[in-house]
Amino acid sequence: MKQRRLYRHYLILLIIVFVGAILRFSNLGLKPLWLDEVITATFSLGKNYQDLPLDVVLPLNKLSQVFTYQQGVTCPQIAENIASQSTHPPLFFCWLYNWLGWMTPLGKHWVVKLRSLSALFGIVTIAVMYAINSLAFSRRAGLMAASIMAVSPFAVYLSQEARHYTLPMMLISLSLWVLLRIGQDIFRIQGVKLWVWLAWVVVHTISLYVHYFCILAFIAEIGTLLLLMLRYQQKIIQKTRIWLGFIISIIGVAIAFFPWFLVTLSHANRAETNWITTGNYFTPLYQIIVNWLLMVIILPLEHQPLPVMIISGLLMIGFGIWLGKVLLQRLKYLWQTHKTHLPTITLLSFTVIVLLEFLLIVYVLKKDITSAPRYSFVYYPAVCALIGAALSSRFELTIKRERKIAIILLTSLISSIFVIYNLSFKKPFAPERVAQIINQEPSQPLMVVMAYLNYQDVALGWSFALAVENIRDNIEPANVAFFPQSPDLQTVWQKLSQLPSPQISQLNLWVIAPGRKRQDYPPQAQVSSALNCQIDITQHYRIGVPYQLYRCIKSDVK
């Protein structure tokens, strides 16, 4: 009988993981690449920004050929590219490079393959969440945490990004498992075993080479262990041994990360991080609460008709209030129950310390990291574990509890379906919308010019161009060009005027100029000596950056 229950238990876990896998791999190539994913593609294909064709005109239907796998690149070479041209640690890009190497030739589905490793790490994280709550609370709580992670719209969104979010989230989840194990072992006669401390060091070392925000998780776990050891010092048997292992482990992580430490300091001051400056004092607090809500529910809000936005917003707020009441009652029960008090205080302490670190970065360093929901990956595993434990607790009658669980899981599942069909968590800078506007006249020859200030603009321009390529046929010629706007847009107009004469009589010219205003676009422009261009004042748009249409006609030859 016991064996049958165990078989049924693990069968349910397998089904949960399977559902999570379906959600993460469904429509993996549907959404267009956005700026950050283009950066991922560049470095993970073994290239750098110098390998991108700039200051030339390229046929739009040949753009994907730029993103080809470059054989024979080593991890130190990728790390060198990252150190000089990006603001991230190198390990994820090295692993993704090797992953893509197993999948060559990449072919027309290269975007799916680019995102597949993140989806895979997202699936593994489901199993790790089961392990966390099984250790800390019960196997039932493990299944619940795995279920929450499997259908979470936030987790599905991160899993479909070709970025280093699910890998550090998986590593932080593993570190939380080790943290909980340490929390249990410090009260035992044998103390914390050597392999547990080593696991803590190894997992955190790897995580620091994956994403800088894992430093926040490392500090939060140090703070949590300090809190436990000071609060319950009378119950700790081998105090000297525990403190020695704790200190040596911290030193071990610091030594292991030291080779990249100077690069970290240089990255902290780079211009690429200036976009997250703090606006006012109240917005970050509001954004943190919204980010909590997005972990369990998100309905269509972005770029929707006003009635849809209002209804979706009200439903999300109502659901959030109801869920908050449910979880607060149950978390209080977990806190007051002797058996679950220690893991509850451990996970809550970790979460609170990370949130305090977020506020410190926002208000002291003036970097509003709360404005990007994706950064919540740092503490989401702890939140997921707490939700799973709270919902599986024996706080109320079974029927009532199961009904609430079904409502929560179904809501998250529906939200995840919205995510995978590109109705929620849309890509920043809306490349698909920009592409539709640029290609609004598909029967006209087209040229898209990105007037870039830096390599971030180059990546943004590639995301727009790739999105246009996806929806445009090859009947009429279409090209893209990247020209530097230094010191101003005049250099761009000069380069356009010096182009060879095209074999067309008309052209729709779109000029994307980050950092510029509407008045910076002149009323006339010239493409080679053959095409005179007039600004279309009705076709000026801004989605993060401005882009303007010029209608070009072949000049009369006398």
- Position 532 in a domain: yes
Over the chain, what is the mean pLDDT? Answer: 92
The answer to whether residue 262 is domain-embedded is: yes
- What pLDDT score was predicted for residue 413? 97
User: Are the beta carbons of 136 and 343 closer than 8 angstroms?
Assistant: yes
Domain shared by 284 and 337, yes or no: yes
Same domain, 356 and 449: no
Report whether pLDDT(126) > 50: yes
Residues 225 and 280 reside in one and the same domain: yes
pLDDT score of 397: 64
pLDDT, tens digit, 9 for 90 and up, residues 31-88: 999 999 999 999 999 999 888 888 889 998 888 788 899 999 999 999 999 999 888 9
DSSP letters, 289-329, are HHHHHHTT---S-TT--HHHHHHHHHHHHHHHHHHHHHHHH
Nearest one of 137, 208, 138, 140 to 175, comparing CA atoms:
208
158 and 284 in a single domain? The answer is: yes
The lowest-confidence range among 26-35, 98-107, 228-237, 401-410 is 228-237
Question: In this structure, are 163 and 277 located in the same domain?
Answer: yes
Establish if 41 belongs to a structural domain.
Answer: no
pLDDT single digits (tens) 282-305: 889 999 999 999 999 999 998 889
Token pair for 231: 């609060």
Query: Nearest CA to 174 among 130, 119, 229?
Result: 130
Sheet (strand 545-554) strand order:
57-59, 478-484, 446-452, 506-512, 545-554, 531-543, 524-527
Contact 143, 16 (CB under 8 A): yes
DSSP state letter for 109: G
Residue 394 corresponds to which tokens in the numbers above? 């024996």
Q: Is residue 394 located within the same domain as residue 293?
A: yes
Alpha carbon distance 174, 119 (integer Å) = 17
Count structural domains, the chain: 2
Terminal Cα-to-Cα distance of the chain (whole angstroms): 96
Q: Is the residue at 66 inside a domain? A: no
| pLDDT bracket for residue 209 (50, 70, 90) | very high
Are residues 408 and 436 part of one domain?
A: no
Q: Does residue 500 lie in a domain region?
A: yes
The C-alpha atoms of residue 149 and residue 310 are separated, in whole angstroms, by 27
Kindly state whether residues 435 and 408 are assigned to the same domain.
no
Phi, psi dihedrals of residue 539, rounded to the nearest 5°: -120, 55
Q: Which residues span the domain enclosing 535?
A: 431-554
Among 420, 442, 472, which residue terminates a domain?
420
Q: Is the pLDDT of residue 558 over 50?
A: no
pLDDT at site 474: 74
Q: Which of 387, 420, 453 is the last residue of a domain?
A: 420
Residue 45 located in a structural domain: no
Task: Decide if 408 contacts 323 (C-beta within 8 A).
Answer: yes
Reported confidence tier of residue 475, pLDDT bands at 50, 70, 90: confident
Query: Got the DSSP string for 420-431?
Result: HTTSSSPPTT-H
Same domain, 413 and 438: no
Q: Are residues 496 and 401 in the same domain?
A: no
Enter the pTM of the model: 0.94
CA distance 128 to 135: 11
**438 close to 465: Cβ distance less than 8 angstroms:** no
Indicate the residue among 400, 420, 440 that finishes a domain.
Answer: 420
